[in-house]
Structure 1
Amino acid sequence: MEGIVQLIPTMKSLGDVNKKNDVTNQAAEEMKAEPEKIDFSNVKIEPLFEEEVDFDTFSKSDFRAVKVKECVAVPKSKKLLQFTLDDGTGTDRTILSGIHAYYEPEELVGKTLIAITNLPPRKMMGIESCGMLLSAVNNLKDSEDEELHLIMVDNHIPAGAKLY
């Protein structure tokens, strides 16, 4: 059947082609830009532990990638966030972490974090916490201020992946 035209919807602009190319080129230039430089000269690093841990002791720690399914502030606590995590077992894991000063709960949902999963359960504010999320912490030189960064990994790492 001649003369029938099938229209396929697209997300392309119907505007001026040159304008489109300018926007595309500008976006490409921005992507090529150097990543933001971070000045670490004002960071105070704590000394390493002098006490050594033997391999058998270290290997008893079970570090796992966990996916944040839900994160909420714990009522009546200024510090605690309650995480509902997928640890790859098929059963949700609850971990509480005192990081509310550094993160809002909604910004952590969907992230892949690292947890130690074989610590004994500990009750905080009446809620049982089953593990600990790993963070990097540092102080600024000549200051009492502390920075905390949750260890986040690539979202392609599946829940339950073991770290060695």
Structure 2
Amino acid sequence: MQSQEIHLEDFQKIDLRVGEVVSAERVEGTRALMVLRVNLGTEERTLVAGLAPYYSVEEMVGKKVVVVANLEPAVIRGIKSQGMLLAADDGQGKVSLVTVDRDIAPGSRVR
């Protein structure tokens, strides 16, 4: 699949940060949604993610994930989501979080 190319300046507008999931819970009445509290170093944020079919609450806590930190907040099922974590989706039912492979501080920039 060929994607539209973007300019380097467009990519540089995206603020990618390492976030550590400090808590997770299922969103009642939904099949897929979880509410995550994520430590971004200088602050904690709430993220809503459709990961429940792929990860348990227990698996999520402690994971260091890559977060789009400057995404405009969105209200999902009445919950304000303050960013987006990145995950790969093979289109055939497998989803994998984008994580870091070494211990690094929450809030570290991803470049």
Kindly state the Cα deviation for residue 153 of structure 1 after the two structures are TM-superposed: 1.4
Distance between the aligned counterparts of 1:92 and 1:161, measured in 2? 14
When normalised by structure 2's length, the TM-score is 0.94
When normalised by structure 1's length, the TM-score is 0.65
1:148 maps onto 2:100 in alignment: no
**Structure 2 residues not aligned, in runs of 5+:** none
Distance between the aligned counterparts of 1:118 and 1:79, measured in 2? 24
Distance between the aligned counterparts of 2:36 and 2:80, measured in 1? 11
Which structure has the highest strand share of the two? 2
Work out which structure has the larger RCO, using CA pairs closer than 8 Å and 6 or more positions apart in sequence: 2
1:93 maps onto 2:45 in alignment: yes
Distance between the aligned counterparts of 1:125 and 1:80, measured in 2? 9
Given candidates 72, 78, 81, the residue that maps to 2:34 is: 81
* Higher Cα Rg, which structure: 1
Distance between the aligned counterparts of 2:53 and 2:62, measured in 1? 20
Q: What RMSD in Å do the two structures reach over aligned CA positions? A: 1.1
Kindly state the Cα deviation for residue 155 of structure 1 after the two structures are TM-superposed: 5.2
1:163 maps to 110
Percentage of pairs with the same residue: 32
Where do 4+ consecutive residues of structure 1 move more than 6 Å?
none
How many residues matched?
111
1:36 maps to none
